[in-house]
Amino acid sequence: MAGTIGFIGLGNMGGPMAANLVAAGYRVTGFDLVPASCDAAQARGVIIAASVAEAAAGADVIVTMLPAGRHVLSVWSELAAVVPAGTLLIDSSTIDVDSARKAHALLADKGCLTLDAPVSGGTGGAAAGTLTFMVGGAANAFARGEPVLQKMGKRIVHCGGAGAGQAAKICNNMILGISMAGVCEAFVLAERLGLSHQALFDVASTSSGQCWSLTSYCPVPGPVPASPANRDYQPGFAAALMLKDLKLSQEAALASGASTPMGAQAAQLYSLFEKLGHGGEDFSAIIRMLRGVAATP
């Protein structure tokens, strides 16, 4: 047995991540507020606890995978009251940098080690154990957490001190939101000019317009067969999650005084797209709104 890990938040991401830790030989004690999520995790070998404190009891490492900063601060406050010195706490949720730093501070004088370690790779990456982890925290905490994260991901990057993982995540996703909007606009313009999707793809994918949103996640069907555009924009990465990350980037920009006008535009575009009823679609489906045809969901 490799050790005991407490896992709080067994939803779409946390469930499969906890299952990968079980498969790697850890004893995993899990907790979630939703009984169905607990049942699904139990079927994959997670021992279900009745509370956060019970899931943490006897664990050397505790992972949280929760919706937002307020949930993480609430659960980490509970943990701060019960975990012994020497415990490693890892939060893999995507949350605002300020809450991430507050979470680290909650445990700072308890003799615990703490990491913020948000992920990219989505539910597919969580199930396959191929997530990328962007990690913030002290070097000794990272050294202890890295072998655990390797059981759930394929790329683990130490980005700096407390909050640096969350900072890297929202900066990356701000690029993604802006670049996807730009690629979609180019395809809409090409359509109006009578230029075929394939012709634009063939030129831009090998020219200075090349980017991940075009070559790995092309927002029109055809050029990249695996992209969500080929399956009526089933996610993938839902537009609502993109909006969440863009909002986090704009909160951070406001708090830090950074000017991010393109990020602000992207946040507004995705906010409008969600209000039109498309939050559950893949984020590349925003091309439909840019064509002017998404007003009726």
- Interacting residues toward ligand NAD by CB under 6 A: 8-14, 31-34, 37, 52, 65-67, 71, 74-75, 93-94, 119, 122-123, 237, 241, 244
Choosing from 151, 169, 244, 275, the catalytic residue is: 169
Least distance from C-beta 220 to ligand NAD, angstroms? 22
Which is closer to ligand NAD, CB of 28 or CB of 75?
75
- Nearest approach in angstroms of CB 122 to ligand NAD is 4
Given a contact cutoff of 8 angstroms between Cβ atoms, the answer to whether 64 and 8 are in contact is yes
**How close are the terminal C-alpha atoms of the chain, in Å?**
50
Closest approach of ligand NAD to the CB of residue 258, in Å: 21
Which CB sits closer to ligand NAD, 195 or 241?
241
Cβ-based nearer residue to ligand NAD, 63 or 253: 63
For ligand NAD, the closer of residues 135 and 204 by Cβ is 135
In whole angstroms, the minimum distance from the beta carbon of 38 to ligand NAD comes to 9
Q: How far is CA 135 from CA 100, 109, 160, 264, in A?
A: 11, 21, 7, 25
Contact between residue 80 and residue 62 where contact means Cβ atoms under 8 Å apart: no
CB of 295 to ligand NAD, least distance (A): 27
Our CB check for ligand NAD shows the closer of 14 and 129 to be 14
Which residue number is nearest to ligand NAD in terms of Cβ? 11
Whether 169 is catalytic: yes
Give the pairing of strands 119-120 and 131-136.
Answer: antiparallel
Q: Cβ closer to ligand NAD: 71 or 190?
A: 71
Measured CA to CA, the distance from residue 154 to residue 245 in angstroms comes to: 22
Catalytic center residues: 169
